[in-house]
A and B are shown apart, each in its own frame.
Chain A
Amino acid sequence: MLWPLFFLVTAIHAELCQPDAENAFKVRLSIKTALGDKSYAWDTNEEYLFKAMVAFSMRKVPNRGATEISHVLLCNVTQRVSFWFVVTDPSKNHTLPAVEVQSAIRMNRDRINNAFFLNDQTLEFLKIPSTLAPPADPAVPVWIIIFGVIFCIVIVAITLLILSGIRQRRRKNKGPSEVEDAEDKCETVIAIENGIPCDALDTKDGCMNEAFMTEGERLTPL
């Protein structure tokens, strides 16, 4: 007598959970891709854990605190591993609106992933887009800091080179005038050129080589 009731219930359940049914979501797992050698087989126990995680997520939604594991229905499990699931209300006649299920899963996506050692790419909820982590944006972009450093170095180097160039030019400008002063002073100060005093060279008589002069003095006077 209970059999017809049982068939009725399963029939209703079967209608609630179907591919592309209203408020149903498809889940796809890629366990071998994610874990390689350490992959586990997908069996009914894993399905139970999945149902538990979904129920846990729904319980966190206000008003849905009474969701039980039996309210989550799975169907069409394939080899891939992929399947469809729906969450029903306590009366088991209607499915909960997709929007609620979606937001609940999104909030707890991390924990669901961790329960299965998977991530957003290997445990996919089709039609539930995952929130992508925004890239870390530091307050000041890194490139401006490095730009600033190199810019300052270049400016400092240019300034140093220009200043040393100016100094060199000033010394050169003083240099030729210093040489000119020295040539003037040569007439008053004795500068030695090749062992002969400069002023000796100025005389019209020519330069007198001291070495020959002394010998000459010795020999000539008669």
Chain B
Amino acid sequence: MEKTRPLWTNPLQFVFACISYAVGLGNVWRFPYLCQMYGGGSFLVPYIIMLIVEGMPLLYLELAVGQRMRQGSIGAWRTISPYLSGVGVASVVVSFFLSMYYNVINAWAFWYLFHSFQDPLPWSVCPLNSNHTGYNEECEKASSTQYFWYRKTLNISPSIQENGGVQWEPALCLILAWLTVYLCILRGTESTGKVVYFTASLPYCVLIIYLVRGLTLHGATNGLAYMFTPKLEQLANPKAWINAATQIFFSLGLGFGSLIAFASYNEPSNNCQKHAIIVSLINSCTSIFASLVTFSIYGFKATFNYENCLNKVILLLTNSFDLEDGFLTVSNLEQVKTYLASTYPSKYSELFPQIKNCSLESELDTAVQGTGLAFIVYTEAIKNMEVSQLWSVLYFFMLLMLGIGSMLGNTAAILTPLTDSKVISSHLPKEVISGLVCLINCAIGMVFTMEAGNYWFDIFNDYAATLSLLLIVLVETVAVCYVYGLRRFESDLQSMTGRSLNWYWKIMWAGVSPLLIISLFIFYLSDYILTGTLQYQAWDASQGQLVTKDYPTYVLAFIGLLVASSIMCIPLVALGTFAMRHFKRGDTDPVA
């Protein structure tokens, strides 16, 4: 009797798994940045258009392929065409790279979560220097949150060449992160199905709480107004459209094989069209919702810093000119400045370089994305709130849920093809395969806990998945429409789900989406080629800020290898299959 494929206990688990996978850290730390850079409210126009034209069709395609083929990515593409199983292999390789570095973020989230139980929060005060007369120099030059991130968490080295050793604290957190992921995927869909109820819903609870808190913060409206005032001239900027397309593409997690893996555990009669629309809509709405929260927090932080800056100027002037304490206020600052400039011109001109021009606009303009936003900007805002420990715990718990939800999808993309393959699953039980995958990833992930680990993390983050995914999804779309045949696929879906395929999907799959992906691919390639040598941001401890440096040649070679290793799978496996078939045909020829 053949072992039946494990199934989701109910369709809701499948939807939650997809939401949990798609809604990840990118919604929280990339979308608000893009919104800010490309015109605030007007960025929503290209975003929604790209969602309808690119996101929904491609998501539906992947879910339909998975549900129809009922296998992981390698098996599914082998069924479509044996020459194309390289697409599945490429997906697995990219997922493998992603899971290697993505769990490091969970390790950092754990680290900050554990440190949130202290009063005062460790990133709110600078540590003292050796003779206790002042604060640590690096901390003074940067800020206490930057110091905690770069020195205490990462212990970052000045450049990528200086590797340093493995830091035991982040290493412990990484081991814990992998153990948590292992716990969730241990039993396959049985355990994953229950965990995704939490990882999908809890972040929304925290976001709602944060929204309520964020909107009531002093200065939040400044941030919201800044964000949502549309700058319509950005609509003419092609970069806005390209970034909207890229964001939709990567935010949904297409091409990794996770969606195919999740859909393969569905009942064949499942209405995946409805689910595709729901998941993509929820993903985009979550991005917009998260940016509401982020911008009210930005507004609070910017207003706080602006008022601090003004107070510092007031203090400086009061002390230098021995004015009465409390005489200078925010309202009469400008008048008094002109008065002082005229009455004591020499002394004022001495002081002038130190008097910073405080501007709320420039504070709001500091657009940050990625780990900088999550671990520096947010923590800076949190330390100024009341009961900051509670907000800190909630925030990092939410980051953890988002991160683990995405990790579940990544590991499913790797494990499903492995457990589908009869060779491996007959020798090893499911638990051992999962354990081995987690162990290998954890061991390689130790690289990211070294002193230069964050630089390697940035390399993986920027280059491991971007180009490869575009190519993979392009080949996927072309394969389904032209190699397998769109009509054949349509009739398959009709017999499977009982519903006919809408003409909209057919047009998108056959024409529009591949063209979009090709244009994105060309844009990325030309961008890489035009910028010439690649550069990175290194932390300079003596200045307390980031400086730009060039990558050494061996790192550039590594980046090339990273991108090539996943892309090359497609032609290599196709060639290999062709060669094997030729061989077999050659063997049988003498008989005929």
Mark A residues whose CB is within 8 Å of B: 28-33, 78-82, 129-132, 134-135, 142-144, 146-147, 150-151, 154-155, 157-158, 161-162, 165, 169
Contacts and interface: CB of A to CB of B under 8 A. Distances in A.
Contacts of B110: 147, 150
Contacts of B187: 161, 165
Contacts of A142: 114-115, 117-118
A127 to B, nearest CB: 12
A165 B429 CA distance: 10
B322 A80 contact: yes
Contacts, number: 80
Contacts of A81: 325
Interface string B169-197: 00011001001101100110001000000
Contact of A79 (B111, B191, B322): B322
Contact of A134 (B132, B179, B323): B132
B514 to A, nearest CB: 43
Nearest to B129: A132
Given A129-B133, A165-B187, A143 B117 contact: yes
B324 interface: yes
A161 B186 contact: yes
B51 to A, nearest CB: 37
A222 B512 CA distance: 86
Nearest to B191: A161
27 contacts: A30-B325, A32-B326, A33-B326, A78-B322, A80-B318, A80-B319, A80-B324, A80-B325, A82-B319, A129-B134, A132-B128, A132-B132, A132-B134, A135-B120, A135-B128, A142-B117, A143-B114, A143-B115, A147-B110, A147-B172, A147-B173, A150-B114, A151-B176, A154-B179, A155-B179, A161-B183, A161-B187
A79 B324 contact: yes
B319 A158 contact: no
Interface in B131-181: 132-135, 172-173, 176, 179-180
A154 B110 CA distance: 13
Nearest to A33: B325
Contacts of B431: 162, 165
B242 interface: no
A184 to B, nearest CB: 18
A127 B117 CA distance: 37
B183 A157 contact: yes
A130 B323 CA distance: 24
Contacts of B115: 142-143
A146 B176 contact: no
B127 interface: yes
Nearest to B179: A154
A203 to B, nearest CB: 27
B360 interface: no
Contacts of A154: 176, 179-180, 183
Contacts of B120: 135
Interface residues of B, number: 33
Task: Count chain A CB atoms within 10 A of each CB in B114, B127, B128, B319 and give the residue with the most.
Answer: B114
A78 B173 CA distance: 56
A31 B173 contact: no
B132 A131 contact: yes
B332 to A, nearest CB: 15
A158 B322 contact: no
Nearest to A81: B325
B186 A146 contact: no
A169 B325 CA distance: 79
A162 B186 contact: yes
B125 interface: yes
A135 B318 CA distance: 31
Nearest to A29: B325
A169 B428 CA distance: 13
Contact of A32 (B135, B172, B176, B325): B325
B186 A158 contact: yes
B489 to A, nearest CB: 37
Contacts of B324: 79-80
A135 B117 contact: no
Contacts of A147: 110, 114, 172-173, 176
Contacts of B135: 132
Given A143-B115, A165-B187, 11 more contacts: A78-B322, A79-B324, A130-B133, A132-B134, A142-B114, A146-B117, A147-B173, A150-B110, A150-B114, A165-B431, A169-B429
Contacts of B429: 165, 169
A80 B186 contact: no
Given A131-B133, A142-B118, A161-B191, A80 B323 contact: yes
A29 B324 CA distance: 10
A222 to B, nearest CB: 52
B8 to A, nearest CB: 19
Nearest to A162: B431
B132 A82 contact: no
A157 B194 CA distance: 14
Contacts of B132: 131-132, 134
A135 B183 contact: no
A129 B319 CA distance: 17
B156 to A, nearest CB: 19
